[in-house]
Amino acid sequence: MPRSGALDLVSLAAANRAAGNWPSTPALEVLGGRLFLEALANFEVGISGAPTMVRVDGLQTYGEKVYVPAGHRLLVEPATEFTIFYAAFKSGVYSDVVLGSASTYTRGCFGGHEGRAIKSGDMLFRCNPPAQPSKVEVGPAAHAPDSHRAVRGLHADLFPPEAYRAFFSSEFTISPESDRMGYRLEGAKLQTFHGAGTVTTVPVIPGMVQVPPDGTPIVLMADSNTTGGYPVIALVPQPDLSALARKFPTGKVRFREISNDEALKAQASQCPPGSS
Amino acid sequence: MSNVLYVEFGQTVNLETNAKVHALDCAVRSAAFPWLLESVPSYSTLAISFDCSVATTQEVQEAIRRLSETTKPGKMGNTAATFELGVHYGGEDGPDLSALAKNAGLTEDEAVSIHTSRTYTCYMLGFTPGFVYLGDVNDRIATPRRSTPRTRVQEGSVGIAGKQTGFYGVSSPGGWQIIGRLVEKTFNVSRDPPSVIQPGDRVRFKRAD
């Protein structure tokens, strides 16, 4: 079962923080579209992710937190070419909890919002605050960095120096065929030694970068396969993975190499002191 | 935040090595380590995801090493069940069957016959929910994965990748050579466990009309 959940954990946490929620409170992820809601009751919502234009009854509003009184309408739409954002309602949005998660896993048609994307006409409900927060990385507000940190991956010994030079110096473009399972990166093609196309299937996690025989790297995301047979060239730690996610659908991506220790420190710095 | 430790038992795919992986996986889950987030078995590797704010990599390595000294692998398939699964082979259900058979110097019927003539053992679950990895196929039909994965393989598809065979529990992208489709669903998230087939179980395929 994939971890599923938000592609951009940093922005989910930021939207929730703005709404006064725990960082991992169920919220809406909008990928490649806009959000248009009519309030049947007063609500407050925190918004984060790629930059958006927010309007209440047609009037533009500013700030991370928006108050929408009953009978009024909220429109949130992307303001740049990046089309991913989060809308977190105070106390959270009601979700089906399956296997302990409120995430929507659309491939399996279960969890979250009836196992599917929200469509026009749907009603959304607030829920009671969750009993205790679950573990998630929390970080600084959204921005689009020039490069993303990455550490050499599980199958580093299968890739020659040229492949790593290409990986750490090229500018890739996220392919429009990308989705919640993985972001395909168009640009330099990467080759293993001896053209070794596949490896014995091993468990993989979001953030790992797999290279199929055609040489196109794929960054595994929240809904990714849990095991895979393509060589893993690198691992992108949080919060860099969230920042990369924020460049949906066709953002430019560069990587810079860090060591294993630096990757651990990067992840450690994401947790506020005292949290589990 | 988490880190992952990989425990490797060997480089080759065989039932003996796989049994060791599953034995340690069981032992890790039962030990109730406070740092354990997840333990994921595969062919010859166990991936242990741990909370690195609770333990260091060295501490986890040491705990796993001690545990593995006292863990005895059972024989895979000792208490396992045997399943016979109906498959619609070829055509739209098996778009890669024709090319696979041709490359192997076989007719489609011969390739299907070879696929259905063996009893396979489930090595692991993984990839996407309900995906079952089985081994090993006859060398005559063993075929590498597609060089570019398909963006959509439908739920229930039966495929071959190298010496592995298996099937998809949900629709997803996929790189396996698809030769047919299961007649019945084998994955239901509400079931406990959700996958009908579990590691160690034996599976035979049967051609359905």
Per-residue pLDDT at B37 exceeds 70: yes
- C-alpha to C-alpha distance for B176 and B172, rounded to whole angstroms: 11
User: Higher-confidence residue: A260 or A202?
Assistant: A202
Query: pLDDT-based confidence at A140, cuts 50/70/90?
Result: low
For A214, which of B40, B147, B172 is closest by C-beta distance? B147
Based on the number of CB atoms within 10 Å of its own CB, is A276 exposed (0-12), middle (13-18) or buried (19 or more)? exposed
* pLDDT confidence bin for B121, thresholds 50/70/90: very high
d(CA B159, CA B143): 10
**B145 min Cα distance to partner chain A (Å):** 8
Residue B194 near residue B128 (C-beta atoms within 8 A):
no
DSSP one-letter code for B127: T
Confirm if B147 and A214 have CB atoms less than 8 A apart: yes
b vs e for B158-177, b when ≥16 Cβ sit within 10 Å of the residue's Cβ?
A: bbbbbebbbbbbbbbbbbbb
Q: What is the pLDDT of residues B47-59, one digit of tens each?
A: 999 998 899 989 9
Question: What share of chain B has pLDDT > 90, as a percent?
Answer: 75
Question: How many angstroms separate the CA atoms of B93 and A228, rounded?
Answer: 23
* pLDDT tens column, B134-174: 989 999 999 998 888 888 999 999 999 999 999 999 998 88
**Residue A270 has what pLDDT?**
58
Average pLDDT over residues B3-21: 90
Minimal C-alpha gap between A271 and chain B (Å): 7
Strands in B35-79 per DSSP E: 36-41, 45-51
Q: Is the pLDDT of residue A127 over 50?
A: yes
Distance between CA B141 and CA B136 in Å, rounded? 10
Q: Do residues B158 and B72 touch, judged by C-beta distance below 8 A?
A: no
In this predicted structure, the answer to whether residue A231 has a pLDDT above a threshold of 90 is yes
Of all residues in chain A, the percent with pLDDT exceeding 70 is 89
Query: Which pLDDT belongs to residue A243?
Result: 95
B86 backbone φψ class: left, alpha, beta (φ>0; ψ -120 to 50): beta
Side chain identity, residue A217: P
Mean pLDDT along residues A232-241: 92
Highest mean pLDDT among A192-196, B4-8, B104-108: B104-108
Distance CA B128, CA B148 (A): 18
> With an 8 Å Cβ cutoff, are A226 and B126 in contact?
yes
Which residue in this structure is represented by tokens 């229930």? B156
| ipTM, interface predicted TM-score of the complex | 0.84
Q: Is the pLDDT of residue A151 over 80?
A: yes
pLDDT tens profile A6-15: 999 999 999 9
Taking residue B84's Cβ as centre, other Cβ atoms within 10 Å add up to 11
Q: List C-alpha distances in Å: B9 to A106, A171, B37, B43, B46.
A: 35, 37, 21, 9, 8
Beta strands in chain A (DSSP E): 28-31, 35-38, 43-49, 52-56, 59-61, 65-68, 73-78, 84-89, 148-152, 172-174, 182-186, 202-203, 208-210, 218-220, 227-228, 232-235, 252-253, 255-257
Residue B77 has pLDDT above 80, yes or no: no
Place of tokens 């990986």: A167
Q: What pLDDT is attached to residue A133?
A: 53
Does the beta-carbon distance from A202 to B42 stay under 8 Å? Answer: yes
A255 class by beta-carbon count within 10 Å (0-12 exposed, 13-18 middle, 19+ buried): buried
- Within 10 angstroms of residue B42's Cβ, the number of other Cβ atoms is 27
Return residues 40-59 of B near A (CB < 8 Å).
40-45, 47, 49, 51-53
**What average pLDDT is seen over chain B?**
92
* pLDDT at residue A139 tops 80: no
pLDDT bucket at A276, cuts 50 / 70 / 90: very low
Task: Average the pLDDT over A115-143 and give the result.
Answer: 70
Query: pLDDT of B16-32, one tens digit each?
Result: 999 999 999 999 999 99
Residue pair A170/A257 in contact (Cβ under 8 Å)? The answer is: no
Task: Give the contacts of A182 (CB within 8 A, at least 6 positions apart).
Answer: A210, A218, A219, A220, A221, A224, B173
Q: Which residue has the higher pLDDT, B72 or B97?
A: B97
Find residues 140-179 of chain B whose CB sits inside 8 Å of chain A. 144-145, 147-149, 151, 161-162, 164, 170-173, 175
Residue A169: the pLDDT is 96
* CA A200/CA B12 separation, integer angstroms: 8
pLDDT value for A129: 60
Q: Is residue B151 left, alpha or beta, with left meaning phi > 0 and alpha meaning psi from -120 to 50?
A: alpha
User: What is the mean pLDDT of the segment spanning A43-68?
Assistant: 94
Region for residue A78 given its phi and psi (left: phi exceeds 0; alpha: psi -120 to 50; beta: otherwise):
beta
Residue A137 banded pLDDT, cuts 50, 70, 90: very low
B108-127 mean pLDDT: 96
Our separate counts of H helices and E strands in chain B read: 4, 12
Rounded to a whole number of angstroms, the distance from the CA of A37 to the nearest CA of chain B is 31
- Side-chain-side CA neighbours of B123 within 13 Å: the count stands at 28
- pLDDT of res. A141: 47
- The predicted pLDDT at position B2 comes to 78
pLDDT at position B53? 86
Number of Cα atoms under 13 Å in the Cβ half of residue B81: 6
pLDDT higher than 50, residue A274: no
CA A48, B53, A236, B60 torsion-angle sign:
negative
- C-beta atoms of B170 and A107 within 8 A: yes
Looking at the partner chain, which of A109, A181, A203 has a beta carbon nearest the beta carbon of B173?
A181
pLDDT score recorded for residue B158: 98
Q: Do B145 and A197 touch (CB under 8 A)?
A: yes
